[in-house]
């Protein structure tokens, strides 16, 4: 796919060091590839994606632009693109707040592994990938990036299959964006 002339400036903003970070990130987000993964198959991809965004930020690029351009390259459009990019940036923020973006944490995340939480009440725990809307409630969202969020392991385990207002609200957004079926939405709302 060729770049239009207007895309050149956007790409340069997203690849300060000459590495095309959106191109590096996009394969991790490709919905056709995600659909072929087994249960929890996208979890390592979330870790790797956060590491790529952290690396791009360290190189002087804007992570929001990198995420947006990568999501666009995968074919997501409209609300599906926005929800996916927002989830990536939220996960970058979570990893940063929990002290997981140090050299050791980034090395683990680049391999798709969970870093250790270095700050806060969950210090010393593994940073795991959680399904905002539980798998037991909406299995079709198992590998949807917009439904995946980094959480300390103990917090993730304590959540179980609870559905609250946050999950219902996200389900409505995912359905409107074409990422959740009507049956899946009904399962979350009941």
pLDDT per 10-residue tile (average), the chain, 190 residues: 48 58 96 92 96 96 97 96 98 98 98 96 96 96 97 87 94 98 96
Do the domain assignments include residue 2? no
Tokens of 188: 């979350």
What confidence score (pLDDT) does residue 5 get?
45
On whether the CB atoms of residues 146 and 80 are closer than 8 A, the answer is yes
Do the domain assignments include residue 75? yes
Do the domain assignments include residue 177? yes
Tokens of 162: 């609870």
Q: What is the pLDDT of residues 22-77, one digit of tens each?
A: 999 999 999 999 999 998 899 999 999 999 999 999 999 999 999 999 999 999 99
What confidence score (pLDDT) does residue 2 get?
45
Task: Kindly report the number of other CB atoms within 10 A of residue 189's CB atom.
Answer: 12
What's the pTM? 0.89
Domain that holds residue 153: 7-189
Q: If you compute the radius of gyration of the chain from its CA atoms, what whole number of angstroms results?
A: 16
Angle at alpha carbon of residue 188, lines to 185 and 189, rounded to 5°: 85
What confidence score (pLDDT) does residue 7 get?
53
Q: Give me the residues paired with residue 127 across strands.
A: 152
Do the domain assignments include residue 38? yes
Do the domain assignments include residue 77? yes
DSSP state, 100?
-
What confidence score (pLDDT) does residue 87 get?
98
Do the domain assignments include residue 24? yes
CA 62/CA 160 separation, integer angstroms: 35
What confidence score (pLDDT) does residue 49 get?
98
Domain count, the chain: 1
DSSP state, 127?
E
Do the domain assignments include residue 1? no
DSSP state, 59?
T
């Amino acid at each position: 796919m060729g770049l239009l002339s207007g895309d050149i400036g956007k790409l340069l903003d997203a690849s300060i060091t000459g590495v095309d970070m959106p191109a590096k990130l996009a394969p991790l987000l490709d919905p056709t590839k995600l659909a072929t993964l087994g249960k929890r198959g996208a979890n390592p991809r979330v870790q790797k994606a956060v590491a790529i965004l952290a690396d791009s930020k360290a190189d002087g690029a804007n992570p929001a632009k990198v995420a947006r351009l990568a999501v666009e390259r995968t074919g997501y459009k409209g609300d599906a693109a926005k929800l996916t990019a927002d989830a990536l940036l939220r996960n970058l923020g979570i990893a940063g707040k929990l002290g997981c973006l140090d050299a050791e944490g980034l090395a683990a995340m680049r391999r798709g592994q969970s870093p250790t939480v270095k700050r806060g009440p969950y210090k010393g725990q593994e940073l795991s990938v959680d399904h905002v809307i539980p798998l037991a409630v909406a299995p079709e969202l198992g590998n949807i990036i917009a439904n995946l969020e980094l959480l300390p392991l103990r917090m993730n385990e304590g959540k179980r299959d609870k559905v609250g207002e946050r999950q219902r609200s996200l389900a409505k957004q995912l359905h409107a964006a074409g990422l959740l079926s009507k049956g899946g939405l009904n399962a979350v709302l009941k």
